[in-house]
């Protein structure tokens, strides 16, 4: 039994949810999101909440149950609050600057790294070593953050690179004489 799947997802005021043609569409103050509905799970749109239950007793239906409930919850949270990931850049000469729909990174390469910001994502640089990625789609925000981090992952000796805020970098001791 899925403990997460048992709980219904409450719909706050100002948010409307609609199911039709095999998709769930959620509209809120920050925008509109939609997702395809799984055949293994049944959805019920009741007064002020969406409940998710497995369609049958198969193993596949039970494995989809909790994940589908979480996806529905992410849609509702995205259109009400949105999602933000913060990246921190550590290293001498490493810096970032947001310029319109581009993010310019200087990461010790012989060239600057220019990253195009996808639609629906907003990138801010409060200072030149911090990058804030925000948007209403949790998956898209996480994907953009991972693609930026991939340019220079933190290394274990000095900790130089791009890391998530709050991420712990396991440090190694250098060579001994």
Cα–Cα distance between 72 and 55 in angstroms, integer?
16
Sheet containing 16-20, strands listed edge to edge, beginning at the edge strand earlier in sequence: 16-20, 23-28, 31-36
pLDDT of residue 79: 94
Query: Are the beta carbons of 52 and 62 closer than 8 angstroms?
Result: no
Q: Residue 1 has what pLDDT?
A: 66
Query: How confident is the prediction along the chain (177 residues), in pLDDT tens digits per residue?
Result: 678 888 999 999 999 999 988 899 999 999 999 999 999 999 999 888 999 999 998 999 999 999 999 999 999 999 999 999 999 999 999 999 999 899 999 999 999 999 999 999 999 999 999 999 999 999 999 999 999 999 999 999 999 999 999 999 999 998 887
pLDDT at 47: 85
For residue 28, the model assigns a pLDDT of 93
Domains in the chain: ranges and CATH? 3-80 (3.90.930.12), 83-164 (3.90.930.12)
Q: How far is CA 2 from the centre of its chain?
A: 23
Q: What pLDDT, on the 0 to 100 scale, is given for residue 51?
A: 93
Task: Please give the DSSP secondary-structure letter assigned to residue 175.
Answer: -
* Residue 53, both tokens: 């239950």
Which pLDDT belongs to residue 5? 86
- Residue environment code for 44-61, b if the CB has 16+ CB neighbours within 10 A, otherwise e: eeeeeebbbbbeeeeeeb
Whole-number pLDDT of residue 41: 92
User: Containing H/E element for 141?
Assistant: helix 138-149
Q: Are 115 and 100 contacting, i.e. CB atoms less than 8 angstroms apart?
A: no
């Amino acid at each position: 039994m899925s403990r997460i799947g048992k709980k219904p997802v409450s719909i706050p005021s100002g948010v409307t949810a609609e199911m039709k043609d095999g998709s769930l569409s959620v509209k809120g103050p920050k925008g509109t999101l939609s997702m395809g509905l799984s055949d293994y799970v049944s959805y019920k749109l009741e007064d002020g909440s969406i409940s998710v239950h497995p369609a049958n007793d198969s193993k596949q239906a039970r494995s989809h149950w909790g994940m589908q409930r979480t996806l529905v919850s992410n849609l509702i949270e995205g259109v009400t609050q949105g999602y933000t990931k913060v990246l921190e850049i550590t290293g001498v000469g490493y810096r970032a600057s947001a310029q319109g729909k581009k993010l310019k990174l200087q990461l010790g390469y012989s060239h600057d790294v220019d990253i195009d910001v996808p639609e629906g994502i907003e990138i801010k640089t409060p200072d030149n070593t911090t990058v804030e990625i925000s948007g209403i789609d949790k998956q898209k925000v996480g994907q953009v953050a991972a693609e930026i981090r991939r340019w220079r992952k933190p290394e274990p000796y000095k900790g130089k690179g791009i890391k998530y805020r709050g991420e712990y970098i396991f440090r190694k001791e250098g060579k001994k004489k």
